[in-house]
Amino acid sequence: MRKLSRRTILILALLTVLAAGLRFWQLGQPGGITGDEMHFVTDAQAYVAREFAFDVHPPFGKQLIALGIWLFGDTPVGWRLMVALFGTLLVPLLFVLGWAWSGRERVGLGLGFLVAVDGLFVVESRLALLNTTLIFLTVAALLIGWYARRPRGWLAVGAALGLAVATKWVALFALVPLVSLASTRQHRWWVSVGLLLVGLTSVYLGVFGLHQSLTGSTVSLVETHAAMVQHHVGITERHAVESPWWSWPFNWRPFLYHDGMGPAGRALIAPLGNPMIWWGMLVLAALTLARHRDSRLLAPLLTFGTLWLPFAAIGRPMFNYHFMLAAPFLWLMALIGWDAWVGTSRRRLGLTLVAAALILTVTAFFWPVLTGQPLADDQLALRQWLPSWFRAR
């Protein structure tokens, strides 16, 4: 890995501070359990109280929330602090991934900026949910695999992916790019893959062992997993703000974690992607794939496809936040194309600053619907750019 320039380090530090500000500002608001927090906070509280609670997802994400409660108290800030921390650290982590996969520091900085300010990533990092932890650990596994030079390094890859799978099972989709990576970069790739699976399995089982230790549960892992699978297979009821997998890249319909009416208007917390990022990056990625034959696109394209397309086979209601796992790899392809097109350094800087200013302006404009601030009907209408947004009421 090359040494970073001082300018890059400074910009990355500023982006991380920006991400922290957007995630930690008034983290205790709303002041009660909001939306899907009801599932995960309740389970985390049970861990702290050493009581048994069954959930349909593996335990690690809730164990992290429980750590926040144990360290900082059973308050909204305590529930959300660990998720906000992972959401902040995701920015430098994705910077390194973008830099490594593109060979350009500026591409990594661009990716870090997009994740720092995008509405979906901000909302998911401000509530006690699982998706931010999931993507952080999955990206960590991919990054460790990229830099692993010897087969034994793949034990660490497996450990990171094991924690991701112990947060949500969909992290298993990342096995495809990881096995591909091992087969192209490792001489004895089958040994690396074997160590990956050993690390994954050991850590995954260790997380469940901690679950049983904290709760005193005597339910076997087989019974636990059978009940989890049965629950997911049995979900057939449709949801007012569900969105099909193919609609996610178009930012078609955001989930609603909170939707309430008050004297000052309607208050929403919606993980709405910044439209300038989502639509702009989608167009750029499509143009890049159509016009460029760049080997740097192979890793993000494979990863994007395998973290998105398998959702097509899942029959239960799905929501836009499920795209969070794949989105950065679509954006990485778009940024590789942007870097190739914008030309000279002066032109690149000017266009990039204009694009960044526009993106920040749009994030600020949508800030009320990301944080639950009430809006009068006319103000909410200004922010309903598509008729499919904010429909639940």
> What is the model's pLDDT at position 343?
64
Tokens of 13: 């530090």
Distance, CA of 6 to CA of 342 (rounded, Å) = 23
> What is the model's pLDDT at position 138?
98
Tokens of 122: 């901000």
Distance, CA of 210 to CA of 204 (rounded, Å) = 10
pLDDT tens-place string over residues 111-157: 999 999 999 999 999 999 999 999 999 999 999 999 998 999 999 99
List alpha helices for the chain, DSSP H: 6-24, 37-49, 60-72, 76-102, 105-117, 119-126, 131-147, 153-165, 175-185, 189-215, 221-234, 275-291, 298-308, 327-341, 345-371, 377-383
Average pLDDT over residues 37-51: 94
Under the banding of pLDDT at 50, 70 and 90, the label for residue 344 is: low
Under the banding of pLDDT at 50, 70 and 90, the label for residue 392 is: low
Question: Is the pLDDT at 110 greater than 90, yes or no?
Answer: yes
Question: Is the pLDDT at 314 greater than 60, yes or no?
Answer: yes
For all residues of the chain together, what is the average pLDDT? Answer: 94
> What is the model's pLDDT at position 393?
54
Under the banding of pLDDT at 50, 70 and 90, the label for residue 230 is: confident
Question: At 258, which helix (H) or strand (E)?
Answer: strand 258-262
Average pLDDT over residues 298-313: 97
> What is the model's pLDDT at position 217?
86
Least confident window among 151-155, 238-242, 310-314, 385-389: 238-242
Q: What is the CA radius of gyration of the chain?
A: 21
147: left (phi over 0), alpha (psi -120 to 50) or beta: alpha
Q: How many CB atoms are located within 10 Å of the residue 7 CB?
A: 10
Selection from 26-40, 116-130, 212-226, 238-252 with the highest mean pLDDT: 116-130
> What is the model's pLDDT at position 89?
98
Distance, CA of 121 to CA of 132 (rounded, Å) = 7
pLDDT tens-place string over residues 168-186: 999 999 999 999 999 998 7
Please name the amino acid found at residue 288. Answer: T
> What is the model's pLDDT at position 239?
79
Question: Is the pLDDT at 234 greater than 80, yes or no?
Answer: no
What ranges do the domains of the chain cover? 6-383
